[in-house]
């Protein structure tokens, strides 16, 4: 805890962004292909312990089918647990649990445990990426480059997560094609 | 191949840890993940607001 606080105080914003994304990956079953939307839903559930799917839909303006898929994934991976609602037997309340809670708490330390700030961080990266369904891997590419300013493609890919090389190359290529990152000679 | 962030991306990411705590997320998020927004009833510039045809 003290070590984390010290690291937080000394890290640059770019380093902190990398660490936040790493903790979100931990919180989502070590799956860097998890979407930022999934990370946002997990954060929202932790922000409102005991919330229901209907409440999440209203807060995040999500379609029911999209939310159902994400809730099912989070439950199957042990990120959340469901309990019967004391108010309404037809609904389930949702709670973040286990390793997800630990990973999320670690990410929240960089925002003084303010869930809204973490949500805004995730939304900001989603906006910058300009993709239909950006992933935590995509966000890590941006955070790494924000921290390093200039890096080789190999260096960026080496600092991603354990995944097939083709997956990393594809993610990098899509961000490059979208113009979010540029070759150094094109950047000026 | 050396790469860097676009200027726009770098400027936006500079705000990642400097945000308003209570900023609403739903509207921004809805657009950013490609969920169709409700279309405005206001016609685009150059279109007649009554008929929605080119003026």
CA–CA min distance A49, chain B (Å)? 18
More confident residue, A87 or B34: A87
Asked if A1 and A103 count as a contact pair (C-beta separation under 8 A), the reply is: no
Contacts of B35 in chain A (CB under 8 A): 61-63, 66
pLDDT at B50: 59
A183: phi then psi, degrees, rounded to nearest 5: -60, 150
* A8: nearest CA partner in chain B: B17
SS3 B14: coil
pLDDT tens-digit series, residues A170-181: 999 999 999 999
For A50, the token pair is 């005991």
pLDDT tens-digit series, residues A51-108: 999 999 999 989 999 999 999 999 999 999 999 988 888 889 999 999 999 999 999 9
Rounded CA-CA distance B40/B20 in Å is 27
A116: phi then psi, degrees, rounded to nearest 5: -60, -35
More confident residue, B41 or B19: B19
A51: phi then psi, degrees, rounded to nearest 5: -75, 170
Asked if A133 and A62 count as a contact pair (C-beta separation under 8 A), the reply is: no
Check B5 against A120: CB less than 8 A apart. Answer: no
Rounded CA-CA distance B55/B42 in Å is 14
Mutate to test the interface with A, among B3, B11, B31, B35 (most CBs of A within 10 A): B3
pLDDT at B38: 44
SS3 A150: strand
Is A19 an interface residue toward B (CB < 8 Å)? no
Reported as type and span, the H/E element at residue B38 is none
CA–CA min distance B54, chain A (Å)? 31
Question: Chain-wide mean pLDDT for chain B?
Answer: 65
């Amino acid at each position: 805890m003290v070590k984390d606080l010290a690291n937080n105080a000394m890290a640059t914003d770019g380093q902190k962004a990398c660490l936040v994304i790493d903790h979100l990956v931990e919180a989502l079953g070590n799956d860097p292909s998890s979407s930022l939307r999934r990370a946002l839903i997990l954060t929202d559930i932790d922000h409102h312990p005991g919330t229901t799917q209907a409440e999440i839909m209203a807060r995040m303006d999500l379609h029911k089918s999209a939310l159902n898929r994400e809730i099912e994934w989070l439950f199957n991976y042990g990120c959340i647990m469901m309990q019967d609602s004391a108010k309404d037997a037809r609904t389930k309340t949702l709670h973040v649990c286990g390793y997800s809670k630990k990973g999320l708490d670690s990410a929240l330390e960089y925002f003084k445990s303010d869930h809204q700030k973490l949500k805004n961080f995730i939304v900001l990266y989603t906006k910058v990426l300009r993709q239909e369904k950006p992933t935590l891997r995509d966000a890590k590419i941006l955070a790494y480059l924000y921290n390093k300013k200039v890096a080789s493609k190999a260096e960026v890919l080496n600092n991603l997560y354990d995944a097939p090389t083709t997956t990393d190359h594809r993610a990098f290529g899509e961000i490059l094609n979208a113009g979010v990152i540029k070759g150094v000679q094109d950047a000026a | 191949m050396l790469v860097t962030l676009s200027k726009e991306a770098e400027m936006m990411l500079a705000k990642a840890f400097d945000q308003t705590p209570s900023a609403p997320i739903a509207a921004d998020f809805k657009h950013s993940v490609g969920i169709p927004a409700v279309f405005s009833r206001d016609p685009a510039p150059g279109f007649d607001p009554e008929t929605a045809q080119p003026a």
